[in-house]
Amino acid sequence: MKIFFIFFFVLFSFLVHSCLSNNMIMRTQSMRDGDVIFSQGKRFAFGFFSLGTSKLRYVGIWYAQVSEQTIVWVANRDHPINDTSGHIKFSSRGNLCVYGSVNGTEPIWSTDVLDTISEPALVAKLSDLGNLVLLDPVTGKSFWESFNHPTNTLLPFMKFGYTRQDGVDRFMTSWRSPGDPGFGNVTFRIERRGFPQMMMYKGTTLWWRTGSWTGQRWSGVPEMTNKFIFNISFVNSPDEVSITYGVLNPLVITRMVLNETGTLQRFTWNGKDKKWIGFWSAPEEKCDSYNHCGLNGYCDTTSPDKFECSCLPGHEPKTPQAWNFRDASDGCKRSNAASLCNGREGFAKLKRVKVPNTSGVSVDMNITLKECEKRCLRNCSCVAYASAYHESEDGAKGCLTWHGDMLDTRTYWSAGQDFYLRVDKAELARWNGSGSSGKRRLFLILISMIVVVMLLMIMLFCFIRKRRQANRHKKPPSTFAPSSFDIEEPFVLEELEDKSRKGELPLFELSTIAAATNNFSFQHKLGAGGFGAVYKGVLENGMEIAVKRLSKNSGQGMEEFKNEVKLISKLQHRNLVRILGCCVESEEKMLIYEYLPNKSLDCFIFREEHRAELDWPKRMGIIRGIARGILYLHQDSRLRIIHRDLKASNILLDNEMIPKIADFGMARIFGGNQIEGSTNRVVGTYGYMSPEYAMDGHFSIKSDVYSFGVLILEIITGKKNSAIYNENSNLVGHIWGLWQKGEAREIIDTLMDAESYEESEVMKCIHIGFLCVQERASDRPDMSSVVFMLGHNAIDLPSPKHPAFTVGRKRNVKNGGSSGNCPSGETGSSVNDVTLTDVQGR
């Protein structure tokens, strides 16, 4: 009898529950704690939840597809329910209300539709985008939606911003703490005053500014235009100012969260690892903090050792004493205020700028930049101008003029726009660096004299060196070190000692290293690196090391040695080879690295006997690891580094097959005003060099991306790019031909375990490889996009354009890569000076 009763009760309550149709609440229904409604495609859920161990109950929306509790919207933020007696139902006037108990009369939260909704069919429905909508299903008319009331999360396709007429303002407010979704201190919104920009406030303090919209992105968020992921639409019309981050592929799960400490973060869900990946966050650098350099100052972190603040052209520190102590909060004042409007002025151009606060600017979208300049010159209160949109389809557009103090200006390494500051003639000359004042002329004369003297010295030096080299050919090689790098030795010694003093780079004693390598015996030799032989050693404590020894009798490796010392001790990443120390004693110069037992990547992918060892997960792991390592170099390390010689023999593998990028002998730090470099001495390895680098000597982060693309294709095919395949084309050209015929699968390494991969995944990887080797550098994705694409299978990739495949006549060009013994520890010989005429593109 009792059991029967219980059964009946369960059945009854089940029936009551199922009255709630699965993805909506009808006007006549109510919802209790425990009920959940799902969106049509089961992507989002709406109902009651608790956070962590807390008993408090909230009503909100969360991802139904994601295994980790991830709340994207909360209704009763400041009014949690103490127990599970909460209820949700429509009020008589049609508002959706949350009540604290079954019989509650005062709702603790309610939608805010003012007019009575008469539609009897009114429902609350959860959409697959995560939007809870009150609508009349018959007419489709919507009365209220949760997307118009963001909490701390911005979902794709959610509109952000305000309307000018009816006072809707969609902005984000952080939670109070990770366990408390109440209204927190941090807000993020599109500012109403002046030219649109987004601002983050902590309490009432302005904390971060995105800068104004430049046509493609916010000027202070250079990373945020990922053409492969987002479809961003910005609207600035008489009706509204808003931005929507759409995703091109609706299956990509991504959200932007304003966290309670004042950081905006974007995460994407990685279904494979079942976790959220932090993809982007801001503010990040000192220069991002609002007004870091005070009135009329600007912030520039591109040179790591310099004080990041400077005064805008035409300005000087208000309190130079404070500036001496790296405190710029007082800002700058005009150097000579009287001369602002004397009719003899011009504009100093500052490049790659996040323009100052646009809250007070005058805007005219109708005039060109030239007219803008004239307008600013005519108006004595105008201190600066810039184009409103500099990245719009039809070129630079519109005119912004500043009148008064300029706040929160910064410069970027590779983004931002041109900014024109009004200065007097003298200042302009100083800024242009091409003045004609007497002092200037004297300075120029001095400089040219120095240059002439230096040229003479260099000629003399080369002459002597030639003579010496000629002599050396006659005599048997002596153990005496030639003088060509003795000259530079003090510098290296100083730098190394300085580093070891700072604890950056331990010094090893020569005797230790000699003992570890059995006096540099032939058996211990692993191969030849960029600037000398590489030995394997075992320290007394059993630790295995790789020792790179600068050849004694050539001055050639000195530059690379210095470069490597300079760079690598500052870098630390799982996917970069780790330096343990160095040794400089008498004539010996050595760098000591961790020893990696598995040799370099080329030993695996280009050797039949080893290729089978690499199944697809291993290859994919290697590709991802290399990508992360490069991303670190390009973006995440304190320095911005272009490696310039990425190739299979420079990728070492540890015993878990984790790839480590090695050999920074040719890497370049990018700082100051550089976004791309150029050189007359093209170094690098045939087959991995991008066309713009090989042919014109231009290198940029995109030349590394090119090399990475080649690596992907090599890893998948097990073939060298530099070899010639059919019809005179290299590997890239060869696969491209097959790809266009839809036959690229033929190229997948036949020695790779066919069970270990899905063809579609490999094809996607080839696709990414092709995106990286596109002819035009600007078409190639940056490494953050590459890492993203590699991590997300659901992404729709754009079609690659024609790749660059350089076909070289192999005159002076050595074929890079391993030579015979397949060295481990360090790399195969690689420094090829490829003169420009030797390589031809097509």
Interface residues toward ligand NAG, by CB under 6 A: 81-82, 100-103, 108, 176, 178, 185, 191, 193, 202-203, 206, 231, 233, 246, 248, 259-261, 263, 265, 281, 346, 349, 357, 359-360, 362, 365-366, 379, 381, 403-405, 407, 428-429, 432, 434
- Phi, psi at residue 302, to the nearest 5°? -70, -25
Instruction: Report the nearest approach of ligand NAG to the CB of residue 227 (Å).
Output: 10
Which residues is 642 bridged to in the sheet? 668
Structure tokens at 651: 């990728």
User: 382 or 496: whose CB is closer to ligand NAG?
Assistant: 382
CA distance 322 to 752: 64
CB nearer ligand NAG, residue 127 or residue 721: 127
Distance CA 524, CA 547 (A): 10
Token pair for residue 495? 């730098």
The minimum distance between CB 265 and ligand NAG, in angstroms, equals 5
Q: Do the annotations mark residue 814 as ligand-binding? A: no
Q: Report yes or no: 425 and 437 within 8 Å, Cβ to Cβ.
A: no
Active site residue 239: no
User: Who contacts 465 (Cβ-Cβ below 8 Å, separation ≥6)?
Assistant: 484, 555
Nearer residue to ligand NAG within complex by CB, 331 or 665: 331
User: Rounded to the nearest whole angstrom, what is the least distance from the CB of residue 304 to ligand NAG in the complex?
Assistant: 21
Q: Which is nearer to ligand NAG, 389 or 693 (CB)?
A: 389
Q: Which is nearer to ligand NAG, 206 or 738 (CB)?
A: 206
Residue nearest to ligand NAG (CB): 203
- Minimal distance in Å, beta carbon 147 to ligand NAG? 14
217/660 with CB nearer ligand NAG: 217
Q: Residue 130: how many CB atoms within 10 A of its CB? A: 25
Q: Both tokens of residue 607?
A: 């050797």
Angstrom CA distances, 737 to 300, 711, 770, 807, 809, stand at: 46, 18, 12, 15, 21
Measuring CA to CA, how many Å separate 435 from each of 246, 419, 442, 443, 711?
A: 50, 21, 11, 11, 49
For tokens 């959200």, what's the residue? 255
Phi, psi of 138 (to 5 degrees): -75, -55
Whichever of 281 and 637 has its CB closer to ligand NAG, that residue is 281
φ and ψ of 197, to 5 deg? -150, 160
> Using CA atoms, how far apart are residues 346 and 398, in angstroms rounded to an integer?
20
Tokens of 831: 């420094």
Least distance from ligand NAG to the Cβ atom of residue 624, Å? 22
Cα-Cα-Cα-Cα dihedral sign, residues 223, 224, 230, 235: negative
Give the closest residue to 658 by CA, choosing from 542, 579, 593, 578. 578
Beta strand pairing call for 409-411 and 297-299: parallel
Number of Cβ atoms within 10 Å of the Cβ of 366: 9
Cβ proximity to ligand NAG: between 359 and 784 the closer is 359
Q: Which is nearer to ligand NAG, 84 or 231 (CB)?
A: 231
Toward ligand NAG, which CB reaches closer, 127 or 600?
127
CB of 194 to ligand NAG, least distance (A): 7
Please, what is the minimum distance in Å from the beta carbon of residue 205 to ligand NAG?
A: 6
User: Shortest gap between Cβ of 78 and ligand NAG (angstroms)?
Assistant: 11
Under 8 Å between Cβ of 233 and 244 = yes
How many CB atoms sit inside 10 A of residue 649's CB? 28
Cβ distance to ligand NAG smaller for residue 197 or 806:
197
How far is the C-alpha of 735 from the C-alpha of 739, rounded, in Å? 6
Residue 536 parent element (H or E): strand 532-538
Least CB distance to ligand NAG at residue 688 (A): 33
Q: Which helix (H) or strand (E) holds 169?
A: strand 169-170
Buried b (16+ CB within 10 A) or exposed e, 71-85: bbbbbbbeebbeeee
List the catalytic residue out of 35, 645, 704, 782.
Answer: 645
User: Helix crossing, 759-772 with 783-791: angle to 10°?
Assistant: 170
Find out whether 628 and 620 touch, Cβ atoms under 8 Å: no
Shortest reach from residue 43's CB to ligand NAG, in Å: 18
Least spacing, CB of residue 59 vs ligand NAG, in Å? 12
What minimum distance in Å lies between the beta carbon of 305 and ligand NAG?
25
Helix (H) or strand (E) holding 227, with range, is none
Nearer to ligand NAG, 363 or 738 (CB): 363
How many whole angstroms separate alpha carbon 652 and alpha carbon 655?
Answer: 10
> Which pair of tokens denotes residue 692?
């713009």
Tokens of 784: 């953050």
CB-based burial, 438-460: b 16+ in 10 Å, e otherwise: eeeeeeeeeeeeeeeeeeeeeee
CA 315 – CA 310 distance, rounded (Å):
9
Pairing of the two strands 417-424 and 677-678? unpaired
Which is it for the CA torsion 126, 132, 138, 141, positive or negative? negative
Distance CA 542, CA 342 (A): 76
| Under 8 Å between Cβ of 746 and 738 | yes
How far is 324 from 319, CA to CA, in rounded Å?
Answer: 9
Query: ∠ CA 320-324-326 to the nearest 5 degrees?
Result: 110
Look at the block and give the residue holding tokens 């600068």.
550
Q: Which residues are annotated as a binding site?
A: 548
**Annotated catalytic sites, by residue?**
645
Provide the annotated binding site for ATP.
548
